[in-house]
Amino acid sequence: MSSYQLVYTDPNFLVENNYGKVAHVPCIFDARPGFHRLGSEYLIDRALGRWSPTKVETRNFVRPPSSKSIKNYGSWLCNFLEWCDCRLIDPLNIDVVEDLIGKYQREMIEGVWSRDNRSLSEKTINVRVDSALDFLAWAEFRGYRIRKQNAQYTIYDDKFLVAGNRRARAKTSSGTRLRESNSFIVLPDTQALISWRARVGSRPVRGNTEVLIVDLIMESAIRITEASCWRVDTLPLAMDDWDIINPAMPDRLKLVSLKICYGTKGPDYGYSHGDKIGPEGRIRISYELALRIQYYRKNDRPHALGIAIKSAVTLKAQRRIRDESVQLFLNPVSGLRYTADQIYEVWRLATPPKGWSPHRARDYWACSLLWERMDEQRRMLVKFAGTEFESELLIALRANAETCILLEILPQMRHKSKETTLIYLKWFTDNSSFALNFHLKWTEELCSDSDKNCD
């Protein structure tokens, strides 16, 4: 276990003592254990938008990062501070080239500084080193660290509120970052997923509820936190209020449109019943899944809520539990809500196939939909390969694949980057029985639209 830890204080206690602005910001405890003042101050400055590594040109306001981002910053900083402690290095006097790159980064590459003595991924190493660089730049900005004359990891300019930015740092310290491999998707075998889902549903008492949570994630591509924060009324309580976008279709093809905002990725707009209020998004779920949610809401959930209510002694406490239990999914044993960590544990305890995670389930939904939409055209292209129709069919297939991704997949997953389109086109190409390679055209378009290094 790490000797440096993120610690969360009861937010109600902080609010009652006039510290509401930082009620959801963690602090860092070191190996003594004791309060780590500088690390905790850094997280507060990041959380409140007082400091950011992003250069601000035309405005003095920096949008505060989300709670999830702050948690990540804190975890990465804990790792760096613990390494400094173990190596008897003062982080405020660390040498970037000799110590941060020559030792910290190198030990992660070689597996010396890892939990199982294996080399860490390039992505993990880069975010940890970036986080350390951010902390050092912040320390210089606050006057806790003297800037080295030969430092190449931060840029200062009197016109800007904060120092440095990602692009500038990438140019001035290209030697600090490792080249990361391109993203690609590998999905488990269908039969392996069927067996795994059966193991989720076979769990005593909890199985029916937990398999519904799993199905919601797999069939709607929502994130694990969004599933945890799913409210009782996210799907309107009355069926007459359901927004069915294709009511004339058979039940098996109907889709229900609904809005989600609790636990969504992006900026924080406040908290409600312990859940972050994020950007509002609109998603679709199948009508059949909606019926299952309706059945759970009317039959299974009241029993779980009753268990939680009975655990309270006073009538006032029972009413409070009833009123505060706004999340849909309750543990049938305890009556308490499922947190994101507990859903992940449900996923893990069923012995998932290699690489199968709640986040990978989003890719599974997207790739499955793309394959279903394009399979008939793909088969036609294979059939007419080498004929005069091949070129026209290839153009039509590419156009339809892009349309499916842009109009169906990206809105459901609430992605904004064109790079996501490239990932799914690449997966479709790799899994087709014909050498499509039209994702390469997208790569060229992405490079022409960006000043990134695409070699």
Kindly state the average pLDDT of the residues 308-327: 94
Kindly state the average pLDDT of the residues 85-109: 93
pLDDT of residue 52: 87
Beta strands in 81-219 (DSSP E): none
Number of neighbouring beta carbons within 10 Å of residue 440: 13
C-alpha distance across the termini of the chain, in Å:
40
Contacts of 176 (CB under 8 A, 6+ apart): 96, 100, 101, 105, 129, 133, 153
Provide the residue type at 86 as one letter: C
Confidence of residue 175 (pLDDT cuts 50, 70, 90): low
Least confident of 59-68, 150-159, 320-329: 150-159
Kindly state the average pLDDT of the residues 212-220: 97
The per-residue pLDDT for range 347-402, each reduced to its tens digit, is 999 999 998 999 999 999 999 998 888 877 776 666 666 666 667 777 777 788 88
CA distance 166 to 180: 16
Q: Is the pLDDT of residue 272 over 80?
A: yes
CA distance 283 to 88: 51
| Contact between residue 94 and residue 84 where contact means Cβ atoms under 8 Å apart | yes
pLDDT of residue 109: 92
CA distance 107 to 115: 12
pLDDT of residue 195: 96
Query: Collapsing DSSP states into helix, strand and coil, what is residue 271?
Result: strand
The per-residue pLDDT for range 231-267, each reduced to its tens digit, is 999 999 999 999 999 999 999 999 999 999 999 988 8
Q: Where are the domains of the chain?
A: 5-176, 190-349, 358-449
pLDDT of residue 198: 96
pLDDT of residue 62: 67
Beta strands in 44-147 (DSSP E): none
**71 to 46, 80, 273: CA distances (angstroms):** 11, 14, 19
Least confident of 191-195, 269-273, 295-299: 269-273
113: which 2 tokens? 């500084």
CATH number for the domain formed by residue range(s) 190-349: 1.10.443
Confidence of residue 20 (pLDDT cuts 50, 70, 90): confident
What is the 3-state secondary structure of 209-242? HHHHHHHHHHHHCCCHHHHHCCECCCCCCCHHHC
Confidence of residue 63 (pLDDT cuts 50, 70, 90): confident
Q: Is the pLDDT of residue 133 over 70?
A: yes
285: which 2 tokens? 């779920």
What's the sign of the alpha-carbon dihedral 114, 42, 47, 326?
positive
Q: Phi-psi bin for 351: left (phi > 0), alpha (psi -120 to 50), beta? A: left
pTM, rounded to two decimals: 0.72
Higher pLDDT, 449 or 35: 35
Q: List residues bridging with 27 in a β-sheet.
A: 7
| Contact between residue 31 and residue 3 where contact means Cβ atoms under 8 Å apart | yes
pLDDT of residue 343: 96
Higher pLDDT, 157 or 147: 147
Contacts of 58 (CB under 8 A, 6+ apart): none
Higher pLDDT, 298 or 147: 298
Query: Collapsing DSSP states into helix, strand and coil, what is residue 275?
Result: strand
The average confidence (pLDDT) of the chain is 83
pLDDT of residue 181: 58
Of the candidates 412, 446, 442, the one whose C-alpha atom is nearest the C-alpha of residue 426 is 442
Confidence of residue 139 (pLDDT cuts 50, 70, 90): very high
**241 to 128, 236, 256, 302: CA distances (angstroms):** 47, 6, 10, 22
* Strands of 255-262's sheet in order across: 243-244, 255-262, 275-286, 271-272
